[in-house]
Structure 1
């Protein structure tokens, strides 16, 4: 196995991304594009459901901490539990999505890319680095707000992760390059900016730590737009698939 495949395989395992056995690209009818209302409702409904479940997890964590005999446990126990939770929710957020998160790893290599596009190997390395920064910044916010999980900055973080998972389904799994453009702008990009500001207002250090995530998503947004323009410029809304 090449070093690139080894890194990609390792990151997929750590982040809980399953490799699909088949290509699940939605083959759209661009000659007669029609808005896929069912797909739109599916994306919206699944995102709302994921946000609800992940927010409920924050509440359960607070409830669990109230019941834990922390006074009888080592002083580092609360920190360890919180870091483990944030690592799990950051790396495994897709587990709470109703959308298909299996993906074909050859998509990025198969489409036309701008000359400045990062090589495929850059993505797993960057995303793992971003994951570490997300966990650290979330922990700092939790600690600053009196070890409270259900708080606005962390709820906003759950929203950000959910929107990112939905975008991944649209772009990476289904290959809807057109619809991925507005979704990445109003979803992952806008939400990470809101999270960064919220973290900064809570604790400036936490905001600075998560800021590289916003910078990376800004680059990813420009790349997403470039990929859309170079590969057919399909409509910016989900298009009904071709009839078999």
Structure 2
């Protein structure tokens, strides 16, 4: 078990929070014009309103940052390098989805990509769970939301072939 002084633990927490919110910022950049695009799409009746996505993702990114921080704090980069590298990789894949869907209007690719993200989240959660059960459990709401978003992506893509390739 790695023991960091409190000051380094605090800096580490803000580092992981920064990494997660950098992902959020990349998504926000891609979705700057998403509101009107989302409203123009044919959506299933169960699709959430556009304003809900921001608050949900904010909570999820905070939970993801705490999860990664717990693993880093307990094991450090040397002992938990593969777990933390996978975490960062899945964040990059997470950020890509918004560009595929909202900027490039590639529905099929966005759907395939979100399924890949789903698998990466499962792998990350399992790896984290093996190190720290609470850290792994913190990723379960993220997995649940991406599961829902996967079904929504498919439904919207299939309902809008004229807009989403």
Give the alignment's TM-score, normalised by structure 1: 0.60
Whole-angstrom CA distance in 1 between matches of 2:141 and 2:31: 27
Match of 1:138 in 2: 68
CA contact (8 A) 2:16 2:69 kept: yes
Q: Check 1:180–1:233 CA distance in 2 against 1; reply closer, same or farther (3 A cut).
A: farther
Moved beyond 2 Å, runs of 4+: 93-97, 100-103, 147-150
Which structure 2 residues correspond to residues 1-244 of structure 1 after superposition, within 5 A?
A: 75-93=5-23, 101=30, 103-105=32-34, 106-145=36-75, 147-148=76-77, 151-186=81-116, 188-232=117-161
| Root mean square deviation of aligned Cα | 2.4
Count of aligned positions: 159
Whole-angstrom CA distance in 2 between matches of 1:108 and 1:234: 11
Alignment gaps of 5+ in structure 2? none
Q: Check 1:170–1:138 CA distance in 2 against 1; reply closer, same or farther (3 A cut).
A: same
Whole-angstrom CA distance in 1 between matches of 2:139 and 2:70: 11
Whole-angstrom CA distance in 2 between matches of 1:95 and 1:103: 10
Alignment gaps of 5+ in structure 1? 1-69, 240-244
